[in-house]
């Protein structure tokens, strides 16, 4: 009995745009039009790390416990003339190839780009990780990038660079505390635009001023007399900025617990993280923050980004090409047809109060048998103390507010 020919199915990955909420790291990060996926320019070492953590089977390095705290890795998008292993050092070519993670199933092969204009190509990073966008689903994402660790250089760095990075660590909060506030943005409930604190602000802080920085990232919207004697610390300068006090206290309490869990995971990981960060995201929109009821945690607790609506067989191949408008068109052979990602009807995901994640692994090394990164643990201890202190401040604000009723 002759096999029935399979129907052809077409997906479209919408054009990408620069990530508007980027508060740290190098420029060049893009998101898909629906903002569910993030495309991050990368290096072979970072690709290898994501693959190692994704495929980890040996628990001896402790990295399996970090998987819950790392953005989901879907594969690699590169300008390449042939399908290649993401661990290879890929040279820029002329064809975008998406190399999926195994759980996506199927492989991606390439088509010609003869009809693609230069503008379309220039908008696609030559070698980028395809990752879960941790900001997806937030209406007003308040975002903080906290650089972790006391060491800013790789072991294979030149002596000149090591000396420069040692000096930089000593001149900032890095060496003493294991953290530096790289940059952040916060929202007022009454404004569509965020308040941005850039890199210069983070560099300007000394160790004693880090609590001030955390207070600016977690502002509290309350009504208090400015000279109330019951307060140990000064109230926020703008009492109309930030989440309501009780919602902020819920956020800080839950976030403190998640940071403690992340610290435990890092304490068992045999890894050296240079230039890595903890990314903290929370909802600045009052309605959605209150509706979230404290829901939060690592990237694995986010609703899974839908990349395929049904399963593929191992023999399925998806061809990729870019049209004249810069859209990446993917054609696959399958028994059913699905809508394109740009035409699907989407609603806001379930409200979520916060997300924390480890990010940026371009200079991360796995070191079996050598134990955890003590500089990173120092940074985690500092961050946990800062959040705990802010939690105590907000609790004090609430008590004073109650006494004034």
CA distances from 138 to 33, 36, 351, 373, 378 (A): 15, 11, 7, 32, 30
The tens digit of pLDDT for each residue in 274-298 reads 999 999 999 999 999 999 977 888 8
Cα–Cα–Cα angle for 147, 153, 158, rounded to 5 degrees: 160
| 3 state DSSP class of 348 | coil
Q: Environment class of residue 373 by beta-carbon count within 10 Å: exposed (0-12), middle (13-18) or buried (19+)?
A: buried
The tens digit of pLDDT for each residue in 186-240 reads 998 888 899 999 999 999 999 999 999 999 999 998 654 444 444 444 444 455 6
The tens digit of pLDDT for each residue in 292-319 reads 977 888 887 664 433 333 333 333 333 3
Kindly report which listed range (127-136, 309-318, 372-381) carries the lowest average pLDDT score.
Answer: 309-318
Can you read off the two tokens belonging to residue 161?
A: 């660079």
Give mean pLDDT, residues 359-375. Answer: 94
Alpha carbons 24 and 323: distance in angstroms, whole number = 32
- What is residue 126's predicted lDDT score, i.e. its pLDDT? 56
Strand pairing report for 107-110 and 317-322 = parallel
What are the φ and ψ backbone dihedral angles of 132, each rounded to 5 degrees? Answer: -60, 130
The tens digit of pLDDT for each residue in 50-103 reads 988 988 878 888 999 999 999 999 888 765 433 334 444 433 333 334 444 443
Alpha carbons 279 and 359: distance in angstroms, whole number = 7
Kindly report which listed range (152-161, 259-268, 384-393) carries the lowest average pLDDT score.
Answer: 152-161
What average pLDDT does the chain have? 74
CB within 8 Å of 44: residues ≥ 6 apart: 87, 88, 89, 90
Can you read off the two tokens belonging to residue 107?
A: 């492989």
Strand pairing report for 277-283 and 354-359 = antiparallel
- What is residue 30's predicted lDDT score, i.e. its pLDDT? 82
For residue 21, pLDDT beyond 60 = no
């Amino acid at each position: 009995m002759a096999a029935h020919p399979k129907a052809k199915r077409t997906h479209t990955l919408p054009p990408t745009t620069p990530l508007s909420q980027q508060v740290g790291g190098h420029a060049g990060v893009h998101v898909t039009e629906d903002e569910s996926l993030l495309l991050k320019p990368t290096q072979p070492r970072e690709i290898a790390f994501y693959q190692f953590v994704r495929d980890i089977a040996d628990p001896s390095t402790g990295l399996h416990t970090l998987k819950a705290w790392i953005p989901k890795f879907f594969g690699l998008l590169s300008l390449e003339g042939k399908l290649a292993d993401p661990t290879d050092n890929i040279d820029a070519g002329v064809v975008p190839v998406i190399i999926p993670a195994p759980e996506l199933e199927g492989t991606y092969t390439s088509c010609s780009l003869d009809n693609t204009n230069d503008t379309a190509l220039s908008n696609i990073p030559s070698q980028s990780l395809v990752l879960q966008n941790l900001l997806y689903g937030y209406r007003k994402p308040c975002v903080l990038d906290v650089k972790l660790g006391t060491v800013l250089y790789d072991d294979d760095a030149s002596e000149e660079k090591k000396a420069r990075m040692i000096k930089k660590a000593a001149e900032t909060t890095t060496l003493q505390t294991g953290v530096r506030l790289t940059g952040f943005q916060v929202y007022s409930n009454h404004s569509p635009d965020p308040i941005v604190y850039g890199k210069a602000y983070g560099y300007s802080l000394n160790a004693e001023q880090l609590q001030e920085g955390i207070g600016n990232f977690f502002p509290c919207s309350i009504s208090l007399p400015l000279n109330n004697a019951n307060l140990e610390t000064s109230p926020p300068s703008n009492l109309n900025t930030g989440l309501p006090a009780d919602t902020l206290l819920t956020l800080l309490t839950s976030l403190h617990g998640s940071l403690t869990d992340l610290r435990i995971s890092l304490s068992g990981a045999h890894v050296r993280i240079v230039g890595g960060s903890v990314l903290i995201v929370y909802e600045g929109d009052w309605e959605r923050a209150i509706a979230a009821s404290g829901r939060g945690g690592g990237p694995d607790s986010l609703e899974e980004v839908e990349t395929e609506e049904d399963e593929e067989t191992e023999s399925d191949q998806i061809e990729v090409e870019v049209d004249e408008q810069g859209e990446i068109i993917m054609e696959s052979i399958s028994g059913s047809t699905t809508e394109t990602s740009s035409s699907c009807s989407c609603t806001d995901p379930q409200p979520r109060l916060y997300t924390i994640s480890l990010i940026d692994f371009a200079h991360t090394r796995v070191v079996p048998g050598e134990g955890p990164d003590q500089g990173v643990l120092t940074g985690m201890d500092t961050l946990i103390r800062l959040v705990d202190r802010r939690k105590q401040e907000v609790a004090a604000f609430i008590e004073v507010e109650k006494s004034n009723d």
